Amino acid sequence: MKWLWSLIALLLGRGRRGAPAQVDRQRLIPEQPPSPRGENIVLALLALAALCFAAFVAVYVLDRLPDQTQLLGLALGLGFAFAAAACIVVSRLLVPVEEISEPYANEPNIAEVEEVEQLVDESGSRLTRKRLLKVAALGTGGAMGAAILAPIASLGPAIDPDALRRDGWRRGMRLVDSKGRPLSADHIEPKSFYTAFPQDVSHDELWAPLVVVRVDAERLDLPHGRDPRLWAPEGIVAYSKICTHAGCAIALYRAPLNEATSARPALVCPCHYSTFDPATGAQVLFGPAGRPLPQLPLLIDGRRELRAGGHFSNDVGPSWWGVRRGRA
């Protein structure tokens, strides 16, 4: 506790009285020569640290460099290493080391507090460019803070949360396979499963991947308001490939050879086996998913190629925010 009292008294004392008088006081620490070399090293290390932290933010924001994770780790690690090296150099070359031991009094002693103040003041006597060093330290601290706070941006769009609810599909957008080849309605076989993407759009977009299947027209029973001519032309249906449970990719299609004795055809998520019926708007047949897969309306153009007929029927992706807002 004594050290705490001393610290509080020191801070309050400094705040009240301003800088202590330097005159008529005998030095406690012997005068030491300035160390321009030490200051230059500290300034260089602080500048390198700030540069590394700024690089971390830049790599994080760009988000498309190869080996992104390794670069982020390298930038952050080097930033902290340079900042630590700067602190070590300050302690070794710029701050005089003086050990004075004496018993503490029970109550804070003003004379002792002033002595500590004097020690602190004299500790900086080797610094000739205090203001520049302060600016460099503040700059490095700011860059470090920005690097630590930058990943908060990944928690979601704070200014426009509805961006999570929008998809990039537009009426007329062409469906292509993973190699960029247009998907033809004539090539969609029954009992088969196709993955499609919007043409010229990154496959990494959450809204981009689709599963496309052809269902038996007799089984088709889409939710109210979905006209089969737009939502299932020629029995072809397209759903978001992102599972509405926890976001895995729908990667299995159960298409029994003998439908009379087997369970009906279904899209299946391999993570926790949520099972969706493609003939009924991807209603959940089984598993933990809380809502159907979003469906995309389709058009078949003059060349028999598949194109989007508009936007998804509902939100793409895991239901967490929908559940929390009661909109699952």
List 277's β-bridge partners, or say none.
283
Residues 6+ apart with CB under 8 A from 144: 49, 53, 79, 80, 83
Residue 288 binding ligand FES, by CB under 6 A: yes
Residue whose token pair is 């029994």: 256
Query: Of 248 and 285, which has the nearer Cβ to ligand FES?
Result: 248
Tell me which stretch binds ligand FES (CB under 6 A): 96-104, 116-124, 189-197, 238-246. Answer: 238-246
Query: Of 168 and 247, which has the nearer Cβ to ligand FES?
Result: 247
**End-to-end CA, the chain:** 55
Query: Which residue in 245, 267, 276, 312 binds ligand FES (CB under 6 A)?
Result: 245
Instruction: Report, in Å, the least distance between residue 242 CB and ligand FES.
Output: 9
Residue 310 binding ligand FES, by CB under 6 A: no
Tell me which stretch binds ligand FES (CB under 6 A): 32-40, 57-65, 99-107, 243-251. Answer: 243-251
Amino acid at 179: K
Query: Which residue in 54, 243, 266, 316 binds ligand FES (CB under 6 A)?
Result: 243
Instruction: Report, in Å, the least distance between residue 301 CB and ligand FES.
Output: 32
Other residues' Cβ atoms within 10 Å of the Cβ of residue 273: 13
Instruction: Report, in Å, the least distance between residue 244 CB and ligand FES.
Output: 8
Instruction: Report, in Å, the least distance between residue 283 CB and ligand FES.
Output: 15
Query: Which residue in 81, 95, 246, 328 binds ligand FES (CB under 6 A)?
Result: 246
Q: How far apart are CA 301 and CA 39, in angstroms?
A: 71
Residue 29 C-beta-side C-alpha neighbours within 13 Å: 20
Per DSSP, the three-state class of 194 is strand
Interaction pattern, residues 255-274, with ligand FES; x per rule: CB under 6 A: --------------x-xx-x
Interaction pattern, residues 156-195, with ligand FES; x per rule: CB under 6 A: ----------------------------------------
DSSP characters over 135-182: HHHHHHHHHHHHHHHGGGGGG--SS-GGGGG-----TTPBEE-TTSPB
Q: How far apart are CA 73 and CA 65, in angstroms?
A: 13
What separation in angstroms does the CA of 94 have from each of 20, 99, 138, 140? Answer: 21, 16, 18, 18
Instruction: Report, in Å, the least distance between residue 290 CB and ligand FES.
Output: 10
Query: Which residue in 89, 137, 289, 296 binds ligand FES (CB under 6 A)?
Result: 289
Q: Tell me the site size for ligand FES, rule CB under 6 A.
A: 11
The binding site for ligand FES (CB under 6 A) comprises 243, 245-246, 248, 269, 271-272, 274, 287-289
